[in-house]
């Protein structure tokens, strides 16, 4: 076996950070249209896969466990303290309910799709479905968190990343093109005539932009993220110990890691209704950590698991159209316009990276609230994605 070229923890971490930085630099400098259809995330995951399999970096390193222990809880906190449900509801109204319908569609679609394709997948593929459910309920951060809670193998995580990006290529144009049918759709859904005007008016007064961050803001954010991680880790160990003494059968659903992430999520959401939510730049910091974490997941994967890709992708296509059907049903039930439906779906499937793109194309005044909608998805993802994975597992008797 060939010797690993870079095996030190410092070197491995540097490589992961450089990979993430490189692909964003390429996107920024070239402005290639390729990145509109294949986001940098795919390349950030795939590059360490090849570096690992070419023995440039190891498949096992203290860096990877360190990312799970520290980077993952930090980005959960940083993303979730910015959730602002009241502002989103004030502007989007029943459009938020359509997003919840879309979330239900993701959960139902995962179970139905897995029941159809599981026979062609590995027995632990439900964990990959749970990870992908995290992305499609909230975003990449939820995908990473769900994979940690479910113990998703790196190969299954890779299939989830692949399916996420392939579906994005198909689904984003559909969401954008839906604007061309706005008049017919809104008439079919019986949308109130003043809905769009009221949304625009609410958007003009309800949202405030982040102020320019100062040095102390970064210290506050770091202190909050570390403190929440520490408190949650201590509490999770105690709860897990108590559970194992009284109800050890629950371990298949509630591991110590699951307890920890659920506690981190809950505390961060509680902080989102305090002045902590006004600290600037938290979302950007959290997103940066997510990409480094995803690079670390890629570094642990092998290329062998990608033989399951056709079946996994078939399941993902079945899944996404079930989600779309739930969104359309929600629009009809709640009399919501096509612009809000497209943004709601993008907030689920594409999260904070895609929701503003769809909003800018449909109705630019809704760009800021589209980000809030995506953050609501982040708030739900850590609870619902692992549940979705276990529902898929139980549905086929595993």
DSSP 12-60: HHHHHHHHHHHHHHHHHHH--THHHHS-HHHHHHHHHHHHHHTTSS-S-
> CA neighbours within 13 Å on the CB side: how many for 322?
20
Best CA proximity match to 392, nearest among 79, 116, 175, 136 = 116
pLDDT at 2: 62
Q: How far is residue 263's CA from residue 243's CA, in Å, rounded to a whole number?
A: 15
CA atoms within 13 A on the CB side of 349: 35
Least trusted range by pLDDT, from 45-49, 151-155, 196-200, 235-239 = 196-200
Q: Which DSSP letter does residue 122 get?
A: -
Q: What does the pLDDT read at residue 250?
A: 86
Least confident of 275-284, 300-309, 328-337: 300-309
pLDDT at residue 210 in the model: 66
For the chain, percent of residues with pLDDT exceeding 70: 96
Render pLDDT for 82-105 as a digit per residue (tens, 0 to 9): 888 888 888 888 989 999 999 999
**How far is the C-alpha of 57 from the C-alpha of 9, rounded, in Å?**
10
Q: Which residue in the block uniquely carries the two structure tokens 């996420």?
A: 164
Both tokens of residue 8? 């030190």
- pLDDT of 350 reads 82
The whole-angstrom separation of Cα 349 and Cα 373 is 12
Mean pLDDT confidence for 127-145: 93
Model confidence at 322: pLDDT above 90: yes
pLDDT value, residue 92: 86
pLDDT at 207: 58
pLDDT above 60 (res 64)? yes
Average pLDDT of span 385-392: 96
pLDDT score recorded for residue 1: 46
Q: What is the pLDDT of residues 228-260, one digit of tens each?
A: 999 999 999 999 999 999 998 888 888 898 999
Query: How far is residue 351 from each of residues 90, 186, 239, 335, 359, measured CA to CA in Å?
Result: 20, 24, 32, 23, 12
- Which tokens sit at 6? 């870079």
**Mean local confidence (pLDDT), 334-348:** 93
pLDDT at 91: 82
Mean pLDDT for the chain overall: 89
Query: Tens of pLDDT along 185-194?
Result: 999 999 998 8
Please give the Cα distance from 257 to 261 (Å, whole number). Answer: 6
322 or 182, greater pLDDT? 322
Q: What is the DSSP letter of 61?
A: -
Lowest model confidence (mean pLDDT) among 112-121, 299-308, 343-352, 383-392: 299-308
- Mean pLDDT, residues 126-152 taken together: 93
The packing angle between helices 367-395 and 256-271, to 10°, is 160
d(CA 316, CA 88): 29
């Amino acid at each position: 076996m060939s010797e690993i070229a870079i095996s030190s923890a410092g070197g491995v971490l540097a490589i992961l950070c450089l990979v993430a930085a490189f692909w964003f630099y390429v996107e920024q400098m070239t402005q290639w249209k390729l990145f509109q259809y294949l986001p940098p995330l795919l390349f950030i995951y795939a590059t360490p896969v090849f570096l690992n399999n070419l023995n440039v970096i190891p498949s096992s390193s203290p860096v990877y466990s360190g990312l799970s222990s520290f980077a993952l809880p930090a980005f959960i906190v940083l993303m979730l303290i910015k959730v602002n449900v009241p502002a989103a509801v004030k502007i989007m109204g029943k459009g938020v309910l359509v997003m919840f319908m879309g979330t239900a569609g993701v959960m139902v679609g995962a179970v139905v799709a897995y029941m159809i394709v599981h026979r062609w997948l590995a027995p632990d593929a439900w964990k990959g479905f749970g990870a992908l459910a995290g992305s499609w309920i909230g975003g990449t951060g939820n995908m990473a968190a769900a994979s940690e809670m479910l113990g998703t193998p790196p190969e299954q995580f890779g299939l989830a990343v692949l399916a996420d990006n392939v579906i994005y290529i198909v689904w984003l144009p559909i969401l954008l093109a839906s604007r061309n049918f706005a008049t017919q759709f809104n008439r079919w859904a019986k949308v109130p005539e003043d809905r769009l005007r009221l949304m625009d008016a609410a958007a003009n007064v309800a949202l405030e932009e982040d102020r320019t961050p100062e040095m102390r803001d970064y210290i506050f954010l770091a202190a909050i993220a570390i403190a929440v991680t520490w408190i949650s880790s201590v509490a999770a160990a105690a709860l897990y110990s108590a559970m194992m003494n009284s109800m050890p059968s629950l371990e298949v659903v509630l591991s110590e890691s699951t307890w920890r992430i659920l506690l981190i999520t809950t505390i961060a959401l509680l902080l989102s209704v305090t002045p902590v939510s006004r600290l600037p730049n938290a979302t950007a910091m959290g997103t940066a950590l997510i990409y480094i974490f995803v690079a670390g997941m890629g570094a642990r994967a092998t290329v062998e698991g990608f033989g399951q890709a056709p079946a996994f992708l078939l399941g993902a296509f079945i899944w996404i159209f079930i989600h779309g059907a739930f969104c359309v049903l929600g629009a009809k039930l709640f009399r919501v316009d096509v612009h809000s439906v497209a943004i709601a779906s993008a907030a689920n499937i594409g999260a904070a990276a895609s929701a503003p793109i769809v909003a800018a194309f449909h109705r630019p005044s809704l760009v800021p609230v589209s980000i809030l909608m995506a953050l609501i998805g982040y708030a739900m993802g850590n609870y619902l994605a692992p549940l979705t994975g276990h529902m898929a597992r139980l549905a086929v008797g595993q």
